[in-house]
């Protein structure tokens, strides 16, 4: 069975409507929303063919259809209309990057924050470790009995995720109190600059939870401890991880727990970006090797300084993402970052 123009139009309509609504799509919906010039009955027949071809599938609880990973792949490769950034949007992005060019590390991390803001997805930016990041806020998410996910947000917008031991008797209210105290005492401070007196203040306020605090302080200190390392390991900076919680696909707590537990594994995040040696790369759903990312898609591209690859930039989101928008943003940001970093590098050398 071959794809013809009508099947392609119907598949494109299904993908676009599902991306927009997160609801399975029926023939009547396509007939009403999209001017295809065919009856609902004809659309139903074509949808049956598309299902046989493995391009769409039927959720157990719905009469409508949703795209399969293969359907998304066909859409991205042949049917998608890329979004075009207007002059004002390009100017805003370039200005944000230029304003931070004095510190290459900062602009690399801030790029991730910009991408997550524009796409409402989670950004991944591969670059050298930053030894001087400043803590902005801590958040806690329940993980499993006796454990929580600690999200450490830094002033440049990047996020660290770590699983911490909290004890079986710790309540969500106590976690919130702990986060409030850490944020009040440590906000705007580099962990390596913390004074013993400040740590003692925190200990005295929460002496009953000292073991938990020790574990968290150890994590925070390790995040900033590479100042004596001449060749720091490349690491992935995350931005907008909380955006995942806004996606209908991740209302299942188990999915969220599995995803956030992987967010703290730098090597696994690097693998998401390592498929791409040059240019733009898209992996959809089951194309990702790690099972935890089977409901996600990753769009990534490399950035360079004077022709030398420095790292990668990407976005991670549900397979039901706006591919046209995400691809355009990632592509533009990597090209813009490459141009500005190369120009800065040449100016320094000459």
pLDDT tens column, 134-185: 677 778 877 778 888 777 777 655 666 677 777 777 777 777 877 887 788 7
- pLDDT (0 to 100) of residue 346: 47
Check whether residue 261 and residue 118 sit in a common domain. Answer: yes
The last residue of a domain, from among 201, 228, 255: 228
24 and 157 in one domain?
A: no
Residues 203 and 141 in one domain: yes
Q: Are residues 238 and 345 both part of a single domain?
A: yes
| Residues 115 and 240 reside in one and the same domain | yes
Last residue of some domain: 169, 196, 228?
228
pTM to 2 decimal places? 0.69
- Whether residue 65 contacts residue 24, with contact meaning beta carbons closer than 8 Å, is answered with yes
Helices (runs of H) and strands (runs of E) counted in the chain:
12, 10
Does one domain contain both 329 and 240? yes
Sequence-distant (6+) residues with CB within 8 A of 41 are 27
Residue span of the structural domain in which 264 resides: 87-129+233-349
Q: How many domains would you assign to the chain?
A: 3
Residue-averaged pLDDT of the chain? 80
- Tell me the pLDDT tens digit for each residue of 28-40: 999 999 988 899 9
- Rg of the chain over Cα atoms, rounded to whole angstroms, equals 23
List CB contacts of 71: < 8 A, sequence separation 6 or more: 11, 14, 15, 50, 54, 55, 56
Q: What is the pLDDT of residues 183-209, one digit of tens each?
A: 887 766 665 565 556 666 666 666 656
Q: Are residues 339 and 253 in the same domain?
A: yes
Together in a domain, 57 and 106: no
Q: Is there a single domain that holds both residue 60 and residue 160?
A: no
DSSP secondary structure letters along 20-49: HH-S-B-HHHHHHHS--SS-HHHHHHHHHH
Same domain, 268 and 163: no
Statement to judge: residues 248 and 342 lie in one domain = yes
CATH number for the domain spanning 192: value is 3.30.390
Q: What is the CATH number of the domain that holds 29?
A: 1.10.10.10
Q: Are residues 148 and 213 in the same domain?
A: yes
- For residues 64 and 84, the answer to whether their CB atoms sit within 8 Å is no
Q: Among residues 14, 15, 20, which one has the least CA distance to residue 44?
A: 14
């Amino acid at each position: 069975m071959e794809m013809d123009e009508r099947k392609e139009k119907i598949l494109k309509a299904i993908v676009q409507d599902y991306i927009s609504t997160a609801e399975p799509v029926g023939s009547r919906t396509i007939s009403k929303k999209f001017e295809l010039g065919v009856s609902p009955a004809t659309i139903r027949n074509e949808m049956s063919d598309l299902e046989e071809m493995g391009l769409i599938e039927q959720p157990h609880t719905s009469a409508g259809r949703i795209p399969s990973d293969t359907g998304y792949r066909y859409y991205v490769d042949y049917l998608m209309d890329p979004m075009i950034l207007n002059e004002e949007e390009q100017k805003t992005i370039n200005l944000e990057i230029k304003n931070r060019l004095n510190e290459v590390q900062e602009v690399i991390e801030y790029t991730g924050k910009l991408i997550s803001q524009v796409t409402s997805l989670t950004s991944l930016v591969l670059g050298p470790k930053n030894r001087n990041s400043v803590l902005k806020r801590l958040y806690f998410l329940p993980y499993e009995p006796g454990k929580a996910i600690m999200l450490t947000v830094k002033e440049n917008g990047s996020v660290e995720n770590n699983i911490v031991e909290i004890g079986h008797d710790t309540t969500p209210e106590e976690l919130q109190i702990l986060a409030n105290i850490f944020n009040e005492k440590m906000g705007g401070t580099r962990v390596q600059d913390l004074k013993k007196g400040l740590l003692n203040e925190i200990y005295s306020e929460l002496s009953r939870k000292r073991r938990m605090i020790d574990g968290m302080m150890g994590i925070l200190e390790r995040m900033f401890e590479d100042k004596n390392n001449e060749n720091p390991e490349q690491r992935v900076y995350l931005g907008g991880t909380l955006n995942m919680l806004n996606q209908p696909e991740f209302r299942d707590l188990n999915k969220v727990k599995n995803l956030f537990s992987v967010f703290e594994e730098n090597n696994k995040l690097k693998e998401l970006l390592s498929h791409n040696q040059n240019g733009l790369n898209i992996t959809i759903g089951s194309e990702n090797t790690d099972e935890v990312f089977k409901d996600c898609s990753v769009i990534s591209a490399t950035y360079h300084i004077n022709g030398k690859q420095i790292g990668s930039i990407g976005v991670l989101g549900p397979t039901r993402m706006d591919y046209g928008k995400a691809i355009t943003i990632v592509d533009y940001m990597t090209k813009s970052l490459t141009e500005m970093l190369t120009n800065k590098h040449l100016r320094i050398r000459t």
